[in-house]
Amino acid sequence: MASSLTKGTAEQGTPDSGGKTFFGHPRGLATLFMTEMWERFSFYGMRALLVLYLISGGPDAKTGGQGGGLAMSLATASAIYSVYMATVYLLAMPGGWIGDRIWGPRKTVAIAASVIVCGHLVLAIPGAPTFFVGMVLVAVGSGLLKANISTMVGQLYDGPQDPRRDSGFSIFYIGINVGGVAAPIAVGTVGQTINWHLGFAVAALGMALGLIQFLIGTRHLNPVSSQVPTPLEREERNAWLRKGLIWVAVAAVFYIVVVSAGLFTINWALIPIALIGLFTPIAVLFRIKRDKELTDVEQTKMSGYIWFFVAAAVFFMIFDQAGSTLNVFADKNTASKVLGLGFPSSWFQSVNSAWVMVLAPFFAWMWMALNRRGKEPTTTVKFATAMLLIGASYVIFIVPMLMTQDGSKASPMWLLTVYMVQTMGEMCLSPVGLSVTTKLAPQKYASQMLGVWFLAVTAGDCVVTLAVTAGADLNGVAVIAVEAALAALAGVAIYFNRKKVSALLGDVR
């Protein structure tokens, strides 16, 4: 899965006007393409190894005892993974705010990439403390980078009406998925077959290459990307600093008391983060809905948008389990040989990005062909279809789960099929969701709403975290069936209420 915020327009023209281009686009697109590709390389590399490393126990025979994992339970590992994913998308909003108010997009991306490199290098040091520090650094860096690099892509073009703009974001999207395909193959192979920590170091190397070429290529970016659009005034900066220090102090005192009382477990960290991630989008949407400055039409459209937001949260609740539930099934219950050739189970994490690259052009052509005939489905129908597809993917997944209960191995084709169906759902929901978010966004919240869209991912992952900490077995047939049914019910509900939702959307189809 890969999506990008698309706010930002060029206020000073492109810096490459009249010069060399990148497939007909400003040369700065090549710089941002490579930066995002390497960032996704590090992100998906981390994702491919995370749960497998956490549940791996004991010394690694291939490294003389230096490459063993943390021997955690599968439930704890799945909860940590879901919190990590949720945090990355949760931090995209403050990351965009920092770029807008403090550092500017260009400086923020450079700092973010540096933080990611440091995070992976810390992960390369064996031990639980370094693992958690490294994971936090990677999450913070990814959150800082996500919104700002997409902003700079938009700044390469002469406003929203530039005919190259949509094509430029499509090329940028390809970079995301190239990184998504390559990372599990490179990082996964090193991590699983040689040493977990060396795998994390490979991810650090990838992001370091991305940072170097970004710094070299900044001369091709729009000069506006180095400016701070709405800088904080001194009084406002001090107020934010005071609030931040107060909350840090409160958290520090709370956890000192918990630790001193001998009550601390990993859940004392996971559950508060999950609750913050779940209630933040609720609070943001509630604040927007309560804003009396919005027109009646904008308020009505926001009511329609909430339908899509809730559906997206359910979708990503299942979709993001690719790095946990499906990853563990690939490792424990799936044959890792094709035509007699073996491969690490982490390679399966490349499949979604590979399917995106195969299916995205087909879906783009299909929507255009249907549109020319006046038969393109509405946004509401596309969302309903996405929910039914993600639910169907888990119905299919139940079959190999049942087949392998006796200890046998399932054919790789089962997971390839599950990922294909999930990617088809993604094509109906993710790009459509980004588009409808920009169309329904109230003028006052035009830049913030794409950040709100990513909070749907956060909400879905936080629901998974809370379910796991409450005792749900994400690798059990019963829970998988419940999730499939929930997605299907959501799809049916959206479909049968499509006229009501369409009425709320007004002129947005």
Q: What is the DSSP string of 280-306?
A: HHHHHHHHHHT-TTS-HHHHHHHHHHH
How many whole angstroms separate alpha carbon 184 and alpha carbon 135? 17
Task: Give pLDDT, residue 203.
Answer: 94
Cα dihedral 277, 278, 284, 287 sign: negative
Q: How far apart are CA 495 and CA 492, in angstroms?
A: 5
CA atoms lying within 13 Å on the CB side of residue 251 = 10
Q: What is the pLDDT of residue 63?
A: 39
* Helix (H/G/I), strand (E/B), else coil: 166: helix
Residues 111, 144: Cα–Cα separation, whole Å: 8
Q: What are phi and psi of 282, to 5 degrees?
A: -65, -45
Please give the average pLDDT of every successive group of 10 residues along the chain, which has 509 residues.
43 52 84 92 92 78 53 92 93 87 91 96 93 94 88 80 74 87 94 93 95 94 88 87 91 90 88 93 90 88 91 95 95 86 91 92 87 88 95 97 94 96 93 81 75 90 94 93 96 92 77
What integer pLDDT is reported at residue 336 of this predicted model?
84
Question: Largest alpha-carbon pair distance within the chain?
Answer: 68
> Residues for the chain: how many in total?
509
Per DSSP, 378 falls in state P
Nearest to 210 by CA among 418, 61, 33, 343: 33
Judge residue 372's burial from the number of C-beta atoms within 10 Å of its C-beta, 0-12 exposed, 13-18 middle, 19 or more buried: exposed
What are the angstrom distances between the C-alpha of 382 and each of 307, 430, 472? 13, 10, 30
Contact 146, 88 (CB under 8 A): yes
DSSP letter, residue 232: P
Burial of 335 (0-12, 13-18, 19+ CB in 10 A): middle
Q: CA 426 to CA 180: how far, in whole Å?
A: 15
Using CA of residue 45, residue 173, residue 117, residue 26, what is the dihedral sign?
Answer: positive
Q: Are strands 337-338 and 21-22 parallel, antiparallel or unpaired?
A: unpaired
Residue 334 contacts residue 345 (beta carbons within 8 Å): yes
What is the distance between the alpha carbons of residues 172 and 168, in angstroms, rounded to a whole number? 6
Work out the angle at residue 227's Cα, subtended by the Cα atoms of residues 221 and 229, and round it to the nearest 5 degrees.
120
pLDDT of residue 383: 94
> What pLDDT is attached to residue 4?
41
Helix (H, G, I), strand (E, B) or coil at 31: helix
Q: Distance between CA 196 and CA 125 in Å, rounded?
A: 10
pTM reported for the whole predicted model: 0.88
pLDDT, position 150: 82
Q: At what angle do helices 379-403 and 498-505 cross, to 10 degrees?
A: 140
Question: 21 forms bridges with which residues in the sheet?
Answer: 26
| Cα(209)–Cα(81) distance, integer angstroms | 26
